[in-house]
């Protein structure tokens, strides 16, 4: 499966915010860009898409940045895909031709299974043990 660079960066940016969720702080765009080695200019477009979809929120000003307001188990990969690559979730609409109905039905099944899989994977699950504190001896 080929995932666009935009979707990859969106997932990585949201992951960075999820890692900091328990701190109740905002994260600057340039900090996310540096951590993920992503262009800040490209990332600002992505973050606007995520903000418009209410996956992330922003705070303006000198001490501004981005944060996740919802619980991490409420945000899924589906939410991120719907925000930045909604075309991946579209159904087949061309019903012309003799076999179009049968082929469209097959693609609808696959599309539905894909969407269901995305809805099952939450940010909390993505974090796994990465959210656990690190102890050194």
Q: Is residue 134 part of a domain?
A: no
DSSP string of 45-70, one letter each residue? HHHHHHHHTTSSEEE-STT-EEE--S
- What is this structure's pTM? 0.85
Residue linked to tokens 């080695």: 37
For residues 108 and 122, what is the distance between their CA atoms, to the nearest angstrom? 23
- CA 74 from chain centre, in angstroms, equals 12
Q: Is residue 48 part of a domain?
A: yes
pLDDT digits (tens, 9 = 90+) for 22-37: 888 899 999 999 999 9
State the total domains in the chain: 1
Q: Is residue 113 part of a domain?
A: no
Q: Is residue 46 part of a domain?
A: yes
Phi, psi for residue 8 in degrees, rounded to 5:
-60, -50
pLDDT digits (tens, 9 = 90+) for 70-88: 999 999 999 999 999 998 8
């Amino acid at each position: 499966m080929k995932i666009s660079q935009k979707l990859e960066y969106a997932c990585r940016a949201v992951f960075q915010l999820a890692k900091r969720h328990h701190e109740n702080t905002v994260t600057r765009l340039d900090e996310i860009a540096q951590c993920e080695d992503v262009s800040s200019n490209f990332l600002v477009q992505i973050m606007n898409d995520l903000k418009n979809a209410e996956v992330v929120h922003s705070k303006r000003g000198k001490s501004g940045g981005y944060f996740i307001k919802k619980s991490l188990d409420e945000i899924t990969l589906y939410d991120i895909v719907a925000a930045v690559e909604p075309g991946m979730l579209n159904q087949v609409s061309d019903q012309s031709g003799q076999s179009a109905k049968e082929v469209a039905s097959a693609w609808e099944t696959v599309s539905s299974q894909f969407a269901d899989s995305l809805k099952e994977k939450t940010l909390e699950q993505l974090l796994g043990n990465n959210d656990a504190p690190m102890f050194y001896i």
